[in-house]
Structure 1
């Protein structure tokens, strides 16, 4: 890999600046160059060219040869510049050995004459060797990988409306020395890309009916994505299926497709992948939504006389994984407080990139993700068992238990008084109507109770049956201990003339 301490020469920088300012480059081509390099694409041609020139000069000041090569790739891949229009341009083989292919051979005769198209970021060589830049394009940037070099030529997949068609790409380490680094660097992967166009910036799009094989073995990869949504799939990883030793081994990559109504363009690239945990760390260190700004927005909405401000509940669980939030984030254009977890969101985008907020469905690309410090403060100050909190219009937040205690405390006191009334008054009044004795009846009216039991137990049963609603009354003041069993003993011993309850 080229060291960042050895920057581009002044001649190279001056020559590339002249190329960027060539009058023959159209505005759409300049806009594509700006998009690839993360620049704004608004304004006239002069504005676009000025931004590109400033970017080239920035790479010289920072002595970043890799960044300079990427800018150079985007310019030559998007603009039909003649090969001799940039005489001071030196071959990348002298600047970046890691990303330089071997001398062009029969397997890759479609590369640019100066070897440039094989080295640029996202660059895809033209199919026609006589017009090396006529059908060049770049793939849309992704935070999960960065294209380092192209392996082999880009193949045109012609329209196949009825039959199947197979295109083959042969890969040998001897032809592409960059593959030597794949064995030693786990961050480098060999991946298959496909696009539905050959100009400008393209999304990854495979034919709906397609499959991949490497050396006869099937590649288990989802090439479809979401129907009619270009860019909703990812490149197929071929690394583990390639034989990189010995260097002369000829790997055969077969791409079979069918039922297409337009051309596709298939290519193989060496990419440097970025793990999700590093991307999450990058989000945490870059953009943040300040706690004070969230509170300010809440109070601003509450002060609006046309809006009735009420409290709202927010969940502390991620809407995708249903696990507790760890790194709460949301898009900068999202208007809601509810957050999603950064790791879960990136895992979903890695499988099928759509970059839409799972809460409001607004665009939430990686560059717009930010950590919400207001929700992060809530997570820090709440137990792991808490699943949601209530946000007040003034920005205060309450736990569900605290909110319920505030609302239910007066009701609990009233309920306690009602229970006392039921024991002391209501139940006794119902007992008198249902002829059900209370505790005082057992203490002071025992003879009457005794005489009623001496006769038969049926009269009370008939009395209660005549008033069926009264049978449902339950005396909460009685218990098993309050019904004296000696009454039954008195009935048993009555034949002997013994009365266990003396007057």
Structure 2
């Protein structure tokens, strides 16, 4: 099929303006414009893959060959051929008017001399170079279907290429350029897209099978990520297509770039196998930089699908990680400062929770893992695919589930957040040192004794009062003169208090001492009898 397209493209290169207009008129396209514009429109017809159009291109090419042979034979002064003889030898082409019918070149060559034949060949070569050079330069700079490979998107499985990667070819020297591309859906593809709409409650009513539009730089050295041309505007079937919003920038004179994401054009596509879908693109051409466009039918996946696909790959054996631990801890054993153990967290750096599916990229050099489920959910919302530990690229195809840490999570306590890795590849629970903090234990309310100044005096005074009363009652017949100094001293000490209510009483006792009197306390006040 590609060989037939290449042959038809070579035929179109040799078309003159009249043949290009006839072809475009046959296809129902615009026939006005310069020759290079007509050639571009004619080349776009090759993507339609219509058998009548291809047949028309071959018929017009035969007409050019015949008319070229006739004109060159007349230009060399071949007087032997008169108009009548030419008309008599003119073959009638089916579907071609008599005015444009020409003589077969083999009938002319038999009547040419050697000199005329040489001039004929030279004219044919010059005519071929005239039509070939301008288009050949364009094709060398911007091939129609470049060998561009887009980066695979993990959340989209490509089902079919509706439009192979095609170059955005500038038509003139102006900055703003335009191009139109066409693609068709097969009956099965149209049915699959129409029946794949998610109508479950709470869903966004999106198509699971989508028609996806992507742009990239025209580079064939490596896989290309999405890259939008500057000032790009896309219309699908004459409807303006929404594109990702540009990322604002503070640099003066720098145009904001759009996020590198594909564009879902399914709502604007005609889900019919008999109608062609047209994509009109306008962009600002850059000197020395080209762009490519592609359209594909894809199947959209979610984070759960990718997690199950990751688990289906299998788990990296624990011996592999154990070998990495030994290598890291023994590589600097001969140095002045040797590492005896490594501390690794069992908490995911993304959600700060204990990991359930520990994984990391095979391109990372660290042992710390992160939770695969959280990582995939984060990239489903905003695809960055950067490692949350070292911030280096961690593509989905490079992710592996670590069997060593999976065993650690299964055998360790649920409250364990850190472990220590040793030189022999073993691990132990990390014991965190806590600072000594005074603990205040709560005791029952019955055993709590609240002490204040007034109550303390009363309590001690009450205890001492009982002793005074017992001493006065047990020895009533002792000599008053011998006991007076002691009793007086005891009375004075007992009546001294910090309370303001007891101060007048102490003064009265100092002025009028009564050694034989008994002191009786009640509450905070003292009565003397």
Question: Is 1:149 matched up with 2:161?
Answer: yes
- What does 1:31-70 align with in structure 2 at a 5 Å threshold? none
TM-score, reference length from structure 1? 0.51
Which has more radius of gyration?
2
CA distance in 1, matches of 2:220, 2:48: 16
TM-score, reference length from structure 2? 0.48
Shift of 1:284: 1.8
Q: How many residues align?
A: 334
CA distance in 2, matches of 1:359, 1:302: 20
- In the alignment, structure 1 segments of 5+ residues that lack a partner are 1-72, 85-104, 116-126, 420-433, 460-486, 498-503
Q: Which of 451, 456, 459 is equivalent to 2:495?
A: 451
Q: Which residue of 1 aligns with 2:214?
A: 193
Residues 114 and 143 (structure 1 numbering): CA distance in 2 closer, same or farther, change over 3 Å? farther
Question: Is 1:372 matched up with 2:372?
Answer: no
Residues 111 and 305 (structure 1 numbering): CA distance in 2 closer, same or farther, change over 3 Å? same
Q: Which residue of 2 aligns with 1:222?
A: 244
Q: Which residue of 1 aligns with 2:418?
A: 389
CA distance in 1, matches of 2:312, 2:403: 12
- What does 1:78-477 align with in structure 2 at a 5 Å threshold? 108-111=44-47, 135-147=146-158, 148-151=160-163, 154=166, 156=168, 158=170, 167-171=179-183, 173=185, 178-184=189-195, 188-197=209-218, 199-200=220-221, 201-215=223-237, 219-222=241-244, 233-245=260-272, 247-248=273-274, 251-258=277-284, 260=286, 262-303=289-330, 304-306=333-335, 307-317=338-348, 319-350=349-380, 353-381=383-411, 386=415, 388-393=417-422, 395-398=426-429, 403-404=431-432, 407=433, 450-453=494-497, 456=500
- In the alignment, structure 2 segments of 5+ residues that lack a partner are 9-40, 52-137, 197-206, 442-452, 469-489, 504-519
Shift of 1:453: 2.7
CA distance in 2, matches of 1:442, 1:458: 12
Q: Which residue of 1 aligns with 2:125?
A: none
Residues 206 and 397 (structure 1 numbering): CA distance in 2 closer, same or farther, change over 3 Å? farther
Decide whether the 8 Å contact of 1:232 with 1:354 is kept in 2: no
Decide whether the 8 Å contact of 1:153 with 1:267 is kept in 2: yes
Q: Which residue of 2 aligns with 1:500?
A: none
Please identify runs of 4+ aligned residues in structure 1 that moved more than 6 A. Answer: 81-84, 112-115, 131-134, 159-163, 225-232, 436-444, 446-449
Decide whether the 8 Å contact of 2:162 with 2:185 is kept in 1: no
CA distance in 2, matches of 1:361, 1:334: 10
CA distance in 2, matches of 1:187, 1:292: 40
CA distance in 2, matches of 1:438, 1:300: 75
Shift of 1:192: 0.4
Decide whether the 8 Å contact of 1:110 with 1:128 is kept in 2: no
CA distance in 1, matches of 2:247, 2:225: 12
Residues 451 and 359 (structure 1 numbering): CA distance in 2 closer, same or farther, change over 3 Å? same
Corresponding residue SS for 2:422: coil
Decide whether the 8 Å contact of 1:158 with 1:264 is kept in 2: no
Residues 439 and 297 (structure 1 numbering): CA distance in 2 closer, same or farther, change over 3 Å? farther
Residues 170 and 408 (structure 1 numbering): CA distance in 2 closer, same or farther, change over 3 Å? closer
